[in-house]
A and B are shown apart, each in its own frame.
Chain A
Amino acid sequence: MLTTIAGRTVHVNDEGFLTEYGEWDEDVAAELAGDIGVTLGEEHLEVIRFVRDDFAAEGVTPTLRRISTVGGVPLKRLFVLFPKKPAKKIAYVAGVPKPVGCV
């Protein structure tokens, strides 16, 4: 469906996840983050940028383990930056699909 985020028209799925990679920018991210109670700081954005770059390169959303081992952000930190359900929250804010990997 089409909706408006940060003043621009974007496509989202039934759950509210962006479906078009190119429709994302950091203003959109800030509004998405605000929806789920996260205030984006530079540390959040570093995670988000890694996830977007990795998705663009690999075609799949990285798991928490990959964000940690390849992206270099300690797992503990991910649970602080995006509490409770970090993998889904990160994907939501980054404008990529929910990760499908088990580990």
Chain B
Amino acid sequence: MTTPRPVPSFDDGPDRKLCIICSKGSLDMAYPGLILANAALGEGIETHLFFTFWGYEIINKKTMEHLQFSPVANPATHMPTAVSGLPGMQGVATRMMRKQIAELDVPAVPEFLQMITEAGGHLWACRMSADMNKLTQDDLYDGVEGIISATEFLDISEGAQTLFI
């Protein structure tokens, strides 16, 4: 005797939209936004990433492969302050973090951005940050769709769940 089976309703439910503001340029603060964006896209959620201020490090072609992690003033590393500030410590900590990320088969930043755009995610860059740093679209990762103002970002994010990282 068998029972009628449940069928998952993958395509039902409200259309969701997620906007993530990436404002930090350190290795450890780049990943939360990228990972969430990737997960959201896999769930059929319309996803936009807006890079502003230090977040430009993530989409600037010159820096995107060289993000650093600093243990200084980060009590979560459980490293004595006097040690975390020693010369060379940032490089050691960064290498260690990169290794841990790679071991999980999580891609480096440029490949991660490519994954997000291939999955249909949208990348936007902040106008004021571009002007401050004298950067143009040519300086940014190719997948960035445009350099937009705060007002334009508000238009894009209308009705979205918005995260500031």
Q: Give residues in A with beta carbon < 8 Å to B.
A: 1-5, 9, 12, 14-17, 35-37, 64-66, 68-69, 74-76, 79, 83-89, 92, 102-103
Contacts and interface: CB of A to CB of B under 8 A. Distances in A.
B45 to A, nearest CB: 9
A16 B10 CA distance: 12
Nearest to A4: B2
A68 B2 CA distance: 37
Contacts of B105: 65-66, 69, 103
Interface of B: 1-8, 10-11, 35, 38-39, 42-44, 104-107, 115, 118-120
Given A64-B42, A66-B105, A86-B42, A92 B8 contact: yes
For the residues of B in contact with A, the DSSP-based class is loop
Contact of A12 (B6, B44, B106, B120): B6
A103 B11 contact: no
